[in-house]
Amino acid sequence: MTSNTEMGVIGLGTIGGNLSKQAVKNGIRIVGKKHSRDKPELREKGVELVEEYDAFVNELAQPRVIYVSVPAGDIVDAVPDELGPRLDDGDVVMDGGNSFFRDSIRRAAELDGQGIHFLDCGTSGGSEGARHGACFMVGGDKEGVEIAEPILEELSVDGGYVHTGASGSGHFVKLVHNGIEFGMLQAIGEGVELLEDSDFEIELDEVFHNWSNGSVIRGWLVELMEQQLREQEFKDIPNYVEDTGEVNWLVQEAIKSETPIPVISQSVMELFKSREGQDNAYRAIALMRHGFGDHPFGSDESIAEERRTSRVENRSRMQLEEEVDDGNTR
Of these residues, 174, 242, 246, 270, which one is catalytic? 174
Among 149, 181, 223, 246, the one annotated catalytic = 181
Residue 29, SS3?
strand
In this structure, how many other beta carbons lie within 10 angstroms of the beta carbon of residue 70? 19
Q: 166: left (phi > 0), else alpha (psi -120 to 50), else beta? A: beta
Which residues in the chain belong to E strands, given as ranges? 6-10, 29-33, 48-50, 65-68, 92-95, 117-124, 134-139, 156-165
CA dist 106 → 96, 103, 119, 169, 230 (Å): 16, 5, 11, 12, 45
Amino acid at site 22: Q
Helix, strand and coil content of the chain, in percent to the nearest 5, comes to: 55, 15, 30
Active-site residue, 181 included: yes
174 annotated active-site = yes
| Active-site residue list | 174, 181
